Copies of this chain bind each other. A is one copy, B any other.
Amino acid sequence: MTQSVRVQNFGVSRDGIGAGEDQTFEQPFGHVDPMELLGWGFATASFPSHEPGVGTRGFEDRLTRDFDHGIGAEIMGRHKFGHQRGPWTDDGWIGWWGEEPPFHTPVVVLTHYEREPLVVGETTFHFMNASPAEALARAKELAGGKDVRIGGGVTTVREFLDADLIDELHVSIAPVEYGHGLRLWERPEELEDRFHLEKVMAPSGVEHCFLWRR
């Protein structure tokens, strides 16, 4: 069975910024407002944690609906999991998402500081000090034959792109520019040597890029 490695619903600005460098507990995306980048997803009915009847069911809902479809595991960078730096302390942190994270699968967290797995709701976080290829091999085992999502942040997606381990990406481009921050790309066309690129403009004003391996 083929297991694809997918980036899903990853949001950047027109100048390719996905987050600020200056993450804190109060500002998980630093100077970048995540609602500017990902408000299109929040507006849809399938966004995690929405009550029934809340949200739109148009084109962009198909994208949020697809977030976990066929996904058996996620890989994320440590900063997507938390704002801490250095060795882990006993601070009770369980990730940004509260008691029921939206993943519902095993999640591999890349960190220089390994620790025991952490179970939160239906999600188990596995902490690995590993190369992208090693982390992916582990995530594929954990995924039970399903696909693996590279969940971000920007640095993690870049590492997996640089290691040529990604099969397809969906990246939304919000009509905003930041000038500085953590940059996925200058322009999506940079990846056209390795990926097909398709761009679709949503009525929301967000442009959705779909890339898949040539």
Contact = CB atoms under 8 A, between A and B. Distances in A.
Number of copies: 2
Contacts of A120: none
Interface string A55-83: 01111011101100110000000000000
Contacts of A70: 65
A210 interface: yes
Contacts of A210: 57-59, 61-62
A176 interface: no
A65 B167 CA distance: 16
A157 to B, nearest CB: 17
Nearest to A4: B57
By secondary structure, the A interface counts as: mixed
A66 B56 contact: no
A45 to B, nearest CB: 8
- How many chain A residues sit at the interface, stated as a range, is 20 to 34
A212 interface: yes
Nearest to A55: B212
Contact of A200 (B2, B170, B200): B200
B69 A65 contact: yes
B208 A59 contact: yes
Q: Nearest 8 A-B pairs (CB), nearest first?
A: A57-B212, A58-B198, A58-B210, A2-B52, A59-B200, A57-B168, A69-B69, A62-B62
